[in-house]
Structure formats: C-alpha cells, structure tokens
C-alpha cells in the first residue's frame, strides 16, 4: 500500500510526562527513521505505553517535543496526526462486518466511496482476510480479529502504525504466526511501526531496534543482537533473560578495561567473565543466562551447588540449584539430575558478563 506521507523520520526530543508527582516519562529522546520497526520493551509500569500514547496523542506531553520531519506533532489532536493504532483489546464493532470495521476510519474522514472501497480492499489483501470480509467479528477467531484491527489501522494509509501489546490475548501458537504476519505487513507498508511489549522474545524477533525503558527512562537502545549479547546495565541484562546474578569482587583488585576478560571471585569460587564496561577493581556483579550455565566436571572451576528442582523441556533439562552462599542458580543440563544432587556449575567466559558494583 505504501504511505502517502513520505516522511523521513520521527523525532522525540526530551519528551516527558508527569502524573502528579510521578514522572511516567523523563527526557525521552529518540530518532526513528522511515522503514524502521521499533519495539518499546520493559516491565509493567516502565513507561512504554505512556510513550506510545504520547506519540499517538491520546496523552498530552508535559515537556519536550515530537516531530515528524519538520512538523511538530505533539501539539496536534489525535485525528490530525493520522496514525494507525492497534491495541490489546481489538475494539471492533460487533454489529459491523469485517469490511465495515476496516472502513470505519475512512468513513469518519469523509473519504469518497470509490477510494474507500479501494483502500479497504487493499487492507483486506494485506492482512489476508479476503474470505472473511463479510463476516461479523463474533464469527472470527482471535487471530482473525487481530488482523481486522491491523487492517483498520493501515487502511487510513498512516505514516506510523502504533501497536500496544497486540498479541497478549492470543495463545502461544497464534502469537508466533501473528508475529510473522506483523513483520510482513510492516515491510509491505514501508512506514514506521512502534510496538510496545513486555516480551523479550517478541521484541527480539520483530524489531530492527529495541528501546528498553525503566522508570520512564531509556536504559538502552540497540539492535536485537546488541541487547541480547551486550546489555548495557544489569537491569537490562535481567530483562533480556540473564536470570543468574552473582555478587563478588575482582580477583586481582586492579581496574579492567571494557570488553576484556577478567577473573572475579564469587563466594570462594573464581570465574572468568567479560567486563562490559570499565571496572574500577572493586565489587562486581556477574550476569549469566540459564541456557549458558551448565554442570562441569569436578576437576574444573565452577560454583558448587545443590539441585533443588529440575524439569525436562525436550532435548534438555532445566533446573534450579542453590550455592553454599544461598544464591539461587538457574541452569541447563543434558542429563537429568536428582533433587539434592551436588553439581558444579560454570559457563563459557564469553557468556559471563561482569558489571561494576554489587547489585548495580
């Protein structure tokens, strides 16, 4: 379909939003290029939906500015921004057919009938719902209803499509299918998609860049690969699946430069890891994914722990164990282990990330 507005970029400049004394968003600065798929990722209450609603115009900003090329849009009403929106609840009109639902925004804009029909047809083709066009929403599956909501959003030919957790009401299999569909539709349209999610897998599989938010502030912006392999902060690491967190000290006490290997001591055990930032030589926190932490032979270095629980997940076993210092560790094993068994756990040094400070 392609947007009729050939904009080049959407810019957020120090956007802030307060609710009373609470800063829901602070100094949000971001430059998004045409064609990009951006995921806003973070835990509940981090500000991602607030950011989306400020871009949409559903919430006013308290400070800063939002620009579409050289047009300032944060001062425009929702309908004057012309963005497509898809929400968690699809908000379809139950008494209207799929076609009528998709054409609703166009009718509100007073688009001439022939042009309206053409755009509705194009949107229906894009979301592959040709055979369902004359049904009512109640006759459709959840995935089909979600497609109708997407078709309605894109029928107005928007420069931006904003999606707020659109797949959270679907079952796991449908979520995977719709993920691929959303990515395909984004590529067909060629505009910008901004997608809010708390699901790291969804963000990794969909986005060109991921913006991780915490307490209304941007913690890191990067490609899925950047975020997966090199989370900039320990809280970003935790959110990207590094569930194991060990607190210790650098072995030789001297400073370490970024992206170099260093030995650190955790409760009497020395492990080698990679410093993501410069380390000053004192206390450090290590982050390790459960996938990467595995049992090693008793002759190898590793953390001594006792298995507390283990479950089979096809191909591998995943378990939790507790170290002598009381730290809970999540690990992967190729073999089943008995509850109460002693294990020694370690990971490839490249997969152990070291951050400055204790519990930083």
- Predicted local distance difference test score (pLDDT) of residue 177: 86
Q: Are strands 9-19 and 84-86 parallel, antiparallel or unpaired?
A: unpaired
Q: Are strands 269-275 and 283-288 parallel, antiparallel or unpaired?
A: unpaired
Residue 2 in any domain: the answer is no
Same domain, 340 and 292: yes
- The domain in which residue 346 lies consists of 242-356
Residue 285 in any domain: the answer is yes
Residue 235 in any domain: the answer is no
- Could you give the CA distance from residue 227 to residue 283 in angstroms, rounded to a whole number? 24
- Could you give the CA distance from residue 219 to residue 328 in angstroms, rounded to a whole number? 26
Token digits for 146?
């979600």
Q: Which of 214, 269, 208, 274 is nearest to 238 (CA)?
A: 214
- Could you give the CA distance from residue 158 to residue 82 in angstroms, rounded to a whole number? 6
- Could you give the CA distance from residue 313 to residue 329 in angstroms, rounded to a whole number? 17
pTM for this model (two decimals) = 0.88
Stated length of the chain: 360
CB 192 within 8 A of CB 35: yes
- Predicted local distance difference test score (pLDDT) of residue 44: 87
Q: What is the CATH number of the domain that holds 303?
A: 2.40.50.140
- Predicted local distance difference test score (pLDDT) of residue 1: 41
Residue-wise pLDDT for 107-123, tens only, equals: 888 889 999 999 999 99
Q: Are strands 283-288 and 353-356 parallel, antiparallel or unpaired?
A: antiparallel
- Predicted local distance difference test score (pLDDT) of residue 168: 85
* Ranges of the chain whose pLDDT falls below 50: 1-4, 360
Residue 88 in any domain: the answer is yes
Same domain, 248 and 163: no
Same domain, 21 and 98: yes
Q: Which of 188, 203, 229 is the last residue of a domain?
A: 229
Give residue 178's region: left, alpha or beta (phi > 0; psi -120 to 50). Answer: alpha
CB 129 within 8 A of CB 148: yes
Residue 51 in any domain: the answer is yes
CB 266 within 8 A of CB 332: no
- Predicted local distance difference test score (pLDDT) of residue 317: 95
CB 279 within 8 A of CB 255: yes
Cα separation values, 191 from 4, 159, 186, Å: 10, 5, 7
Same domain, 130 and 258: no
Dihedral of CA 68/231/359/327: which sign?
Answer: positive
Q: Which of 177, 199, 229 is the last residue of a domain?
A: 229
State the greatest distance between any 2 C-alpha atoms of the chain, in Å, as a whole number: 78
Rg (CA), the chain: 24
Residue 167 in any domain: the answer is yes
Backbone angles phi, psi at 118, to 5 degrees: -60, -45
Dump the DSSP string for 235-251: HHHHHTT--EEEEEEES
Count Cβ atoms within 10 A of the Cβ of residue 193 and give its class: 0-12 exposed, 13-18 middle, 19 or more buried: buried
- Could you give the CA distance from residue 321 to residue 242 in angstroms, rounded to a whole number? 16
Strands (E), the chain: 9-19, 22-33, 37-41, 63-68, 71-72, 84-86, 160-164, 192-197, 209-214, 217-222, 244-250, 261-266, 269-275, 283-288, 294-295, 303-312, 317-323, 328-333, 342-346, 353-356
Same domain, 67 and 202: yes
| Count of structural domains, the chain | 2
> What DSSP element (H or E) covers 113?
helix 113-126
Same domain, 205 and 276: no
Same domain, 60 and 107: yes
Q: Which of 205, 229, 253 is the last residue of a domain?
A: 229
In sequence order, which residues have a C-beta less than 8 Å from that of residue 312 and are 6 or more positions away? 336
């Amino acid at each position: 379909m392609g947007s009729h507005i050939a904009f080049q970029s959407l810019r957020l400049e120090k956007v802030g939003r307060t609710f009373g004394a609470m800063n829901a968003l602070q100094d949000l600065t971001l430059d998004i290029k045409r064609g990009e798929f951006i995921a806003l990722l973070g835990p509940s209450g981090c500000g991602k939906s607030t950011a989306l609603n400020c871009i949409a115009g559903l919430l006013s900003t308290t400070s800063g500015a939002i620009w579409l090329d050289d047009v300032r849009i944060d001062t425009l009403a929702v309908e004057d921004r012309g963005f497509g929106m898809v929400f968690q609840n699809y908000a379809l009109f139950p008494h209207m057919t799929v076609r009528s639902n998709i054409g609703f925004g166009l009718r509100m804009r007073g688009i001439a009938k022939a042009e309206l029909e053409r755009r509705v047809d194009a949107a229906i083709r894009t979301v592959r719902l040709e055979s369902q066009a004359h049904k009512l929403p109640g006759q459709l599956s959840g995935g089909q209803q979600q497609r109708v909501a997407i078709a309605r959003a894109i029928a107005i030919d928007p420069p931006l499509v904003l999606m707020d957790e659109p797949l959270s009401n679907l079952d796991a299999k449908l979520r995977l299918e719709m993920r691929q569909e959303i990515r395909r539709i984004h590529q067909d349209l060629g505009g910008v998609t901004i997608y809010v999610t708390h699901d790291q897998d969804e963000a990794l599989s969909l986005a060109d860049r991921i913006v991780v938010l915490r307490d209304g502030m941007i913690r890191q912006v990067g490609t899925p690969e950047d975020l997966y392999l090199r989370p900039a902060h320990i809280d970003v690491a935790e959110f990207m699946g590094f569930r194991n967190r060990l607190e210790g000290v650098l072995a030789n006490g001297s400073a370490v430069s970024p992206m170099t290997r260093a030995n650190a001591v955790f409760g009497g055990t020395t492990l080698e890891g990679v410093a993501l930032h410069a380390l000053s030589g004192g206390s450090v926190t290590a982050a390790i994914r459960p996938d990467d932490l595995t049992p090693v032979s008793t002759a190898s270095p590793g953390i001594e722990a006792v298995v507390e629980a283990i479950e089979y997940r096809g191909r591998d076993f995943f378990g939790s164990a507790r170290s002598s210092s009381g730290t809970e560790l999540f690990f992967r094993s190729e073999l089943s282990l008995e509850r109460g068994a002693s294990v020694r756990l370690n990971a490839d040094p490249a997969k152990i990330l070291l951050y400055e400070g204790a519990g930083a």
